[in-house]
Amino acid sequence: MEAPLVLAIETAGKSGGIALLKEKLLGAVTLSSKQSYSQIVFRCLEFFEKNLNLDLKTLDYYAVDIGPGSFTGLRIGLSVLKGLSLAFPKPIIPLISLEILAVETFNTQLPVVSLIDAYSQEVFLAVYRWEEGRLKAEINPSCIPFKKIPELIKEPAWFVSETIEKWEDYFKQTLGKNFLKWPFPVSLTTENLAKLVYLKLKSNYFETKTAEELLPLYLKPSEAERKKRS
C-alpha cells in the first residue's frame, strides 16, 4: 500500500507554515513574520506547487494544529484549511499543540510535561508518556493556574515548552529533582507537526474529521469573550 500524502498546517504558535510528507518529509516551511498566517500559508502552498509539483487533488489527508495556542492563529489556520477543503475535500487529522511539543522527546522513559503559556498566571498543560511509539496522555490537555503544577508532578519528568525559561527558576525551587528541562529547544514548527503526523500514521493511531466537524481546542475563553461576560 502506497504511503499517504499529507499537507500539514501550523498556525498555533509564534510562527506559521506548512509541511508536506509522504512517509518522509518532502518539504517544510516555517516562518516568523508580521504577515498574516493566511498569507504565509498560501505563499508556502504556491512554493510547494512550483518546487515540489504539489497537486492538491492528489492529497490523502490534511493535518492541522487545533490548539491550544494563539486564538487568532488557530482561527486563521482552521479557516484556511476549511477553505482548501471546500475545493479539495480530504479527511483532516487534528493535532494538539501540547502533543506536537512533546514529540521532540521521542521514546524517553520518563513522563513529559508539555506547557504553553496561557497568560494571566495560567498555563495550558498536558502530561504524556511514550508507549509503543506513541504519546499516551496521563493528564489530558487543560488550562490550570500556573502555581498548581507542583501539586501534579510527583516524579522526575521532562518539561518542554517554547517559554520554559520564564518558569525555570520557579520549577527548580518547587520541584527540585522532579524538574528536568529538556536539553534542546522545542517549538511549534511544521517539522515537529510533520513528525507527529508520521508517528500517528505509522502506528495507525489517529482520528480524522471533516471540515464541518473540525473545531479548535481553545481550553479557555479569549480575552474578548472574558470582557464580554464581565
Which amino acid is it at 103? V
- Least reliable range by pLDDT among 43-47, 59-63, 204-208: 43-47
Domain ranges within the chain, ordered by starting residue: 6-96+188-229, 98-181
Q: Do domains 6-96+188-229 and 98-181 have the same CATH topology?
A: yes
The 10s digit of each residue's pLDDT in 171-221 is 999 999 999 999 999 999 999 999 999 999 999 999 999 999 999 999 998
The 10s digit of each residue's pLDDT in 94-117 is 999 999 999 999 999 999 999 999
pLDDT at 42: 86
| Rounded CA Rg of the chain | 18
pLDDT at 36: 74
d(CA 207, CA 117): 27
d(CA 162, CA 98): 11
* Record: fold of 6-96+188-229: Nucleotidyltransferase; domain 5 (3.30.420)
Q: For residue 28, what is the enclosing H or E element?
A: strand 24-31
Would the pTM of this model clear 0.85, i.e. be above it?
A: yes
Query: What is the CATH number assigned to the segment(s) 98-181?
Result: 3.30.420.40
Task: Using alpha carbons, select from 190, 223, 227 the residue that is nearest to residue 8.
Answer: 190
- Residue percentage of the chain with pLDDT more than 90: 81
